[in-house]
Amino acid sequence: MELLFSSIELIARWDVMAALLIGSIGGVIVGGLPGVGAAVAIAIVLPVTFSLEPIVGLTALLGIYGSSMFGGAIPAILVNTPGTPVNALTTYDGYPMTLRGEGRRALSLAYSASFYGAIFSIVALMFLAPVLASIAPMFGSREIFLAALLGITLVIITHRGQVLAAAMLAFIGIFLQTIGIEPSAYTQRFTFGLGWLQSGINLIVVVLGLFAVSQALVLFMDKDKAIKLPNVGRPKFLDQIRDFWVYRRVASVGSAFGVICGMIPGVGEFMSQFMSYAYAQRTSKTPELFGKGNPEGIVASEAANNSVPAAAMIPLLALGIPGEELTAMMLAVFYVHNVVPGPQLFANQMDFVLALYLCLLLLNIIVVVFLFFSTSTLMKAMTIPNRFLGMMILTFSLIGVYSLRNSLTDVAIASGFGVFGFMLKRLDYPTSPIILGIVLGKLMEDKLRTAMARVTTPWEFIDRPIAFILFVMIVIAVVFQTWTVVRARNAGKKEISDA
């Protein structure tokens, strides 16, 4: 009980509440703007959070992260354009319901399922917190290195059909973090005698370039879409709850998938919602209606993807390992304020961890109340011209980059990464492996140096139980991916020979 009161005391401040309110409502608005998304918003806000206390800055970022998928469901359901990439599956059944004149019901189900999934995840992880606090100290340098290696392996192999490209981009990120003065021997690496490279490539500069500047360029190139907004009205609260309660089994299973996938680095929303959607379709009494406007499809998708943010904070807080690009950006806030996420954070600052989960709980309540009264107003935001959005994003991005160190060199680097990110998006290649390569690459290098000082043989590196389990998981992941590629290649050769 004392721990709970201590956590409440941490967040019961006007600046934390203001950050939570601005972040959560801003996240909904950003999520409702097709072509923007949480990654762009967090990248723009990130430089501002460096001047704030850790709890304030992280609360603002959590607000955007946890609420953007609520807003992303609005264009996904009403105009068949997902506001964020993880709302793509919602279009399968949400838009057909809108065409049938059931847009209000589809939105109500999406809001209810999102809220249920988020609360399910937060409550589950609050109960797990004492267990995690006892397990976290068992992770030493070797275990954290192997966990980071497992994370980057999963990030690569979960990009089905783009594994080679994802691997190359992840290694580009790992290479970028090596540039500058090496921290132990103070030797220069890949600086080529250039003074501006001695301090390395700043993570935030790369983030703003790859996500914000590149998205601004994409919006500049796209034509403005003529969007016809349907009239959905305001949902009735009691009817909304009653309608959702029919699908509570699907929502609970989807939320459980989200919790499990969120805790595994590199997996996240996409895997959880596809597993949830497949389960809902397989157990449904009307599986033939999936993709044609089945309410179960909306509930399965939204419950799964909204239960991930709270779970994704576990590897970040307990081990300092981000599972995807959004939590990697949050990690930068910890580093700037010299707050080191990892086993010691759970062991010594459990009130801080619990405070973050209480913020997640509050932001979901704020978002649901806000959406209940303002959905019709939010719909009008979808009509904002793409080029205007692009100009706003580009302006705030470059201002944010310059404000980091008052450096035009940083602006030039961000612009270069913006062009590179634009090329990747046009080629339909992922950008997140680069960010995770930078973050996890630095973590792996630091932990490997520490671990090797105590290791004399390869077996000693994995002779502890957790280290051995992580090593086995890495081997299984690589073997499974190799087997999948070989089987697909053999199937292709068989089809050619049969033809």
Determine which of 235-239, 305-309, 492-496 has the lowest per-residue pLDDT on average: 235-239
How open is the CA angle 110-161-83, to the nearest 5 degrees? Answer: 25
Tell me how far CA of residue 394 lies from CA of 37, 284, 412, 432, 481, in angstroms.
14, 46, 13, 20, 39
How confident is the model at residue 437, as a pLDDT? Answer: 86
Note the pTM of the prediction, 2 decimals: 0.80
Helix (H) or strand (E) holding 490: helix 465-498
Contact 24, 363 (CB under 8 A): yes
pLDDT one-digit tens code per residue, 432-471: 888 888 888 888 888 888 888 777 777 888 888 888 888 8
Instruction: Please report the pLDDT score of residue 231 as a whole number.
Output: 62
Residues 6+ apart with CB under 8 A from 244: 108, 109, 112, 113, 116, 251, 299
Q: Which of the four pLDDT bands, split at 50, 70 and 90, describes residue 420?
A: very high
pLDDT score, position 163: 83
**Residue 193 in contact with residue 370, Cβ under 8 Å?**
no
Residue 63, exposed/middle/buried by CB under 10 A (0-12, 13-18, 19+)? buried
| pLDDT of the residue at 229 | 61
Model pLDDT for residues 97-110, shown as the tens digit of each residue: 888 888 788 888 88
The pairs formed by 278-284 with CB atoms below 8 angstroms and a separation of 24 or more are: 279/250, 279/253, 279/254, 280/250, 280/253, 280/254, 283/250
- Strand bridging mode 188-189 / 180-181: antiparallel
Instruction: Output the CA–CA distances (angstroms, integers) from residue 451 to 19, 141, 177, in the order listed.
Output: 39, 5, 20
Structure tokens at 211: 């996500």
pLDDT surpassing 70 at residue 234: no
Q: What is the pLDDT of residues 150-187, one digit of tens each?
A: 888 888 887 777 888 888 998 998 898 888 887 777 78
Instruction: Answer whether residue 397 shows pLDDT above 80.
Output: yes
User: Mean pLDDT across the chain, nearest whole number?
Assistant: 80
For residue 188, which phi and psi values (nearest 5 degrees)?
-90, 135
Looking at residue 235, what is its pLDDT? Answer: 56
Contact 66, 96 (CB under 8 A): no
As a whole number of angstroms, the distance between CA 12 and CA 9 comes to 5
pLDDT over 70, % of the chain: 91
Top-confidence range, 248-252, 334-338, 384-388 = 248-252
Predicted pLDDT at 24: 87
Q: Which two tokens stand for residue 468?
A: 């051995």
If one counts every other C-beta atom within 10 angstroms of the C-beta of residue 182, the result is: 13
pLDDT value for 104: 81
The region of weakest confidence among 42-46, 188-192, 283-287, 322-326 is 322-326
- pLDDT of res. 309: 81
